Chain A
Amino acid sequence: MIGSRAQRPVGGAVGSVALWVYAVGALVPLVLMVTSSFRTNADLITDPLGAPWPLSTESYTTAWTDGNFATYFGNSLLVTAGAVLRVTAPLGPIDYTLGMQLSALAWGGAFVGFLLFYGPILFSPRVGEAR
């Protein structure tokens, strides 16, 4: 019986309630974002928490036409595809080599690892823009 007791989740029912309450907290603002997107401005100001009924797709039309959504989405797609390619393509070979030659690289292995792991995120993208 000892074995089965060890597998029991921590916190029991109280823990479950706490976890679901937090999940609601994580989700409600996002749900409000979505419901608000289907309501008109005037409607939002008079009743911020009201239901998105009747559905108004006016905001989506505005975002698509006045906001040039298609162009910007295309730009984002291009940048994302490029970034994924640039990060993943060269990493396979270098990981393989580093794994095979780890002893040879032991002298600076830790530092190289540190640079490769933290390097790109250490440097704020804003700094690059300054050029």
Chain B
Amino acid sequence: MRRRTAVLFTAPALLLFGVFVLYPMFTAFSYAFFEWRGTARGGFAGVANFDTLFTKRPFTTDLPRALWHNALFFLGTMVCQNTIGLAIAFLLHRRQRTRRALQTLYAMPYLVSPIVIGYLWTLLLSPSFGPVNTLLTKIGLESWALPWLGQPSTAIWVVVLVSVWQWIGFPVLLYGAALGGIPDDLTEAARVDGASNRQSFFKIVLPLLVPAIGTVSVLTFIFAMEAFALPYAFGGSTGNPAGSTDFVSLLFYRTAFDSGSIDAVGTSSALATMLFLLIFGGALLATMVLRRHERRITT
């Protein structure tokens, strides 16, 4: 391939990537290091904006809490996707006739916007006229008819479970493809050698699924750290009830758009930068560890 052709072919993608991804990214980074008066940029501020995040209210209380919720959200969705999602994919595997239809059904909630899903489940879980509690009462489980979204102890788990419910089709598809890539010869050979189903799953199938599990986990990590639409639909920008569904993105939204504080641009940019570094660092580290592991099992 000629050099000029190569440049010509890569230029459009790199240009768009630069304009729509890199430029806004670095602008936000730079904003974090300046003083701000409304939308007017002041002098260089060093790390003063980052300092605010660790020393001033409401960040001293809200930021650790929001980070903790992001972590819970990540752990909850990851555990569910890697168990329920993998189990479904494993059961679907080799069901030639029904696999497509079922996969489509599992992916249906994915087609509805998270904002709509949040609103829909708020109605379904409503303590006064929600079908969920009506159903629980009808079948005699009145003590289970709780105000699921009204009490801090259950609200965060509703967000986790609804999110899992909505996105489950994705790990099912990914694990389905990964399972399809494992040659039948391997499991068959294991069975001929006397391995039980359980042994063949844990000693052969599962180790070969590690790259797929890694991909799902990294994408879940990114997704969970950026969670915004669903928590916003459930608890508004303040993470109701009582901040129990607050997430870093919601805190960012409040800081940038609702706080009315004079240095909102600087503080929110600092928060965005920190969140980005956290996600980028986590994803990069996990990818590197996975690459190493992949090399070990493929060679």
Contacts and interface: CB of A to CB of B under 8 A. Distances in A.
Interface residues of B, number: 73
Interface string A117-131: 011111110111111
The secondary-structure label for the interface of chain B is helix
A101 B6 contact: yes
Given A6-B184, A48-B130, A97 B9 contact: yes
A6 B187 contact: yes
Contacts of B135: 49
A18 B106 CA distance: 13
Contacts of A7: 94, 184
A108 interface: no
A116 interface: yes
Contacts, number: 158
A37 to B, nearest CB: 11
A30 interface: yes
Interface in B1-41: 1, 5-6, 8-10, 12-17, 20-21, 24-25, 27-28, 31
A97 B1 contact: yes
A10 B249 contact: no
A93 B15 CA distance: 13
Interface in A1-42: 2-3, 6-11, 15-16, 18-20, 22-23, 25-27, 29-30, 32-33, 36
Contacts of A127: 24, 28, 252, 272, 275-276
11 contacts: A2-B188, A2-B192, A19-B102, A20-B102, A22-B88, A23-B106, A29-B165, A86-B16, A91-B13, A101-B1, A124-B252
A30 B268 CA distance: 36
B279 interface: yes
A78 interface: no
Nearest to A86: B16
A124 B28 contact: no
Nearest to A101: B6
B191 A6 contact: yes
A115 to B, nearest CB: 8
A90 B120 contact: no
Interface of A: 2-3, 6-11, 15-16, 18-20, 22-23, 25-27, 29-30, 32-33, 36, 44-45, 48-49, 86, 89-91, 93-94, 96-98, 100-101, 110, 114, 116, 118-124, 126-131
Contact of B109 (A30, A97, A114, A122): A30
A102 B130 CA distance: 56
B157 interface: no
Given A30-B112, A48-B131, A122 B222 contact: yes
Given A48-B131, A122-B280, A127-B272, A93 B25 contact: no
Contacts of A110: 291
Contacts of B12: 89-90, 93-94
A29 B109 contact: yes
Given A7-B184, A9-B93, A49-B135, A26 B256 contact: no
Nearest to A20: B102
A2 to B, nearest CB: 7
B73 interface: no
Contact of A19 (B88, B218, B269, B291): B88
Contacts of B8: 93
A8 to B, nearest CB: 7
Nearest to B126: A48
Given A44-B129, A97-B10, A119-B17, 9 more contacts: A2-B192, A29-B109, A48-B130, A94-B12, A97-B6, A124-B228, A126-B252, A126-B272, A128-B24
Contacts of A15: 91
Give the interface centre of A2, A7, A8, A90 by most chain B CB atoms within 10 Å: A90
Interface in B213-258: 218-219, 222, 226, 228, 249, 252-253, 256
